[in-house]
Structure 1
Amino acid sequence: MDAVDQQALTDAVIKEHGLDLAQLWLEFVGLGGDASEQLIRDYCAGQCTLSPKERDALAQAVNEHCAAQGLLLRVPLSSYALFLLQPEPQDPERKGPYSSK
């Protein structure tokens, strides 16, 4: 997953659920994260980046918090692929909607 996409999705889930960043930071540290609380706030505001390890620790903290509260939205980890919906490839032999093929 792209770092920018993961940051945006992390911030969106935190805002959607109204999660407390101070509490998330404590959980983040408990999961092995070592960024300061201010750095986490800056990251969520889109003002800085974090390493994949730090991003994943924060994502895990958010996801565990959401799971404990029965909330549905989750944050993807850096190793997850983000798939975009694209139209299916067209058969080059097909001529159009009214073809007899």
Structure 2
Amino acid sequence: MSQQEQQRRTCDAFRSTALSTYELWLRYFSLGGNAGEEEVDAYLYSSLLLPAFERDMLALAVNEYIADQPPPPRAPYSGRKGPPAV
């Protein structure tokens, strides 16, 4: 995957969350990321490319946040035997 594709997909994943840039940066930094908050912000807005390790740590921070979120509510069935046949 190209650097730009990884950046685009990480940014898309980040934008699907309720995280602020600062909150993401804190998560990323606590995992061992080395870029400053301003660099992370620039990366998220496609103004800066980061080295592979930093990109991967940022992706990890976003993915861990997403994995920690409760699943969205699901619509219940009536209680018959399983979902309706389609």
Which TM-score bucket, shorter chain as reference?
0.7 to 0.9
Are residues 1:20 and 2:20 paired?
A: yes
- Which runs of 5 or more structure 2 residues have no equivalent in the other structure? 73-86
The CA distance in 1 between the partners of 2:45 and 2:63, in whole Å, is 19
Q: How many residues align?
A: 72
Are residues 1:34 and 2:30 paired?
A: no
Equivalence map 1:55-66=2 (5 Å): 55-66=55-66
Task: Note closer, same or farther for the CA distance 1:71–1:43 as it changes in structure 2 (3 Å cut).
Answer: farther
TM-score, normalising length from structure 1?
Answer: 0.66
What amino acid is the match of 2:37? Answer: E
What amino acid is the match of 1:41? Answer: D
The CA distance in 2 between the partners of 1:25 and 1:40, in whole Å, is 7
The CA distance in 1 between the partners of 2:55 and 2:23, in whole Å, is 16
Q: Structure 1, residues 66-90: CA drift from partner, whole Å, max 9, x if none?
A: 0111469xxxxxxxxxxxxxxxxxx
Question: RMSD between aligned alpha carbons?
Answer: 1.6
Q: Judging by fraction of residues, say which structure has more helix.
A: 2
What amino acid is the match of 1:47? Answer: S
| Rg (Cα) greater in structure | 1
The CA distance in 1 between the partners of 2:17 and 2:62, in whole Å, is 10
Q: Percent of counterpart pairs with the same letter?
A: 36
- The 4+ residue runs of structure 1 with deviation greater than 4 A are none
What amino acid is the match of 2:67? Answer: A
1:14 CA displacement: 1.1
Task: Note closer, same or farther for the CA distance 1:71–1:47 as it changes in structure 2 (3 Å cut).
Answer: farther
TM-score, normalising length from structure 2?
Answer: 0.77
Answer with 63-72 or 22-31: which moved more.
Answer: 63-72
